[in-house]
Amino acid sequence: MNYYILTDEVFDELDKDLIDFALQSIDETEWTVTTTEVVDNEILSFENTLQLSLYTIEEGSFWTGDNTGIEVWELEEIKYLKGI
């Protein structure tokens, strides 16, 4: 699995069948994505769900609006495609 922060434009080019989790940022300019697809023009990439989760928690108001971020269990257990 690959873990990314992507621009809206890059996200639009992804194969949606290969995405496990996607959440659009509050301002709708970026995406948090877990996918089997390899992306080479990402904003950020992460080694695992923990790193991605910690990033979204640090930037919680940008991702969830309530300053909580995305928990590891959400990234691993929920097939969540908000905004698609």
**In which order are the strands placed within the sheet that holds 44-46?**
44-46, 2-7, 30-35, 19-24, 80-82
Specify the pLDDT at position 62.
Answer: 87
Which sequence spans correspond to the domains of the chain? Answer: 2-82
Q: Could you tell me if 22 and 67 are in contact, meaning their C-beta atoms sit under 8 angstroms apart?
A: no
Averaged over successive runs of 10 residues, the pLDDT of the chain (84 residues) comes to 96 93 92 95 96 92 85 83 56
Q: Could you tell me if 75 and 52 are in contact, meaning their C-beta atoms sit under 8 angstroms apart?
A: yes
Q: What span, in angstroms and rounded, lies between the C-alpha atoms of 84 and 71?
A: 20
- Partnered with residue 58 across adjacent β-strands are none
Mind giving me the DSSP string for 13-39? Answer: HS-GGGEEEEEE-TTSSEEEEEESS--
Helix or strand run (H / E) with residue 42: none
Q: How much is the pTM?
A: 0.87
